[in-house]
Amino acid sequence: MGTHDAEAIAPETCPTANGMPMLGLGTWQNDDPEQCAESVRTALEMGYRHIDTAQAYDNEEAVGEGIAAADIDRDEIFLATKIWISNLAHDDILETARASLDRLGVDYVDLLYVHWPAGEYDAEGTLSALSELYEEGLIENVGVSNFRPEDLEVAVDVCDAPIFANQVELHPLLPQEAIREACDNYDVEVVGYSPLARGQVFNQPEIKEVAAKHDASEAQVSLAWAREKGVTTIPKATGEDHIGDNWESLTVDLDREDLNTIDAIDETNRAVDPDFAPWN
């Protein structure tokens, strides 16, 4: 399958979770402004309708340029960004969220995340500010990221607005069962970042085996596996080939045997593990 096939896959074939397209474009480390804008434009014109960025990625402006360059109505795009840990005090959120909207060139974002429960994070102060932005209509949904089950429990309890999603590293080498179960209990969507384990899935024998069976790429199989688990993924890709290959994962249907094969991987590998992470 080539990227020409990818362009034939209509946006509406992408399943949604509470209105959020379950396959999005991640932009972490896509910090060349021209390339970032082009990646976003390419993805949107191919059919993607979910774009994920963050203050810390230093590319919100380029993401906004890509959105503006694509001939897609803003209300068809699910746009998410994240507040960095140094900006999580109540007033800083109100100020820097507006700055993010300005950089993105939009009136609202569909989802605004707390990037990590770290730094200036204070459950009540932080989440009350997000609730204010939600009430004002500057954000459609409140999200958290890198929250353990116990962090999520507190957030759900203190936030006036519903917690819509928890974005965590999630892939066949880090399936995050406990977090998925907690999110399920609290009616919170799971968004998986680094869904290809920073390329480690390409060398995994079990994934190679399933990919060969489906005449698919290891990336497509990993994304299809997450989707079967009810997880939304936001793989980062910059070139048209990779953006297209990931989009074509929507045509890959795994059966129970495939899922069992992948679930049996007993290697665990966490790729994103900063000192300030709540589990450290």
Beta bridge partners of 21: 16
d(CA 157, CA 139): 20
Distance, CA of 39 to CA of 151 (rounded, Å): 33
- DSSP strand pairing (20-21 vs 50-52): unpaired
Residue with tokens 């362009």: 7
CA-to-CA distance for 214 and 56, rounded, in angstroms?
37
Q: What does the block give as tokens for 95?
A: 């100020």
Q: Write the burial class of residue 81 (CB in 10 Å: 0-12 exposed, 13-18 middle, 19+ buried).
A: buried
d(CA 147, CA 119): 14
- The single-letter DSSP state of residue 109 is B
Q: Which residues, listed in sequence order, are joined to residue 189 by a DSSP beta bridge?
A: 165
Residues with catalytic function: 57
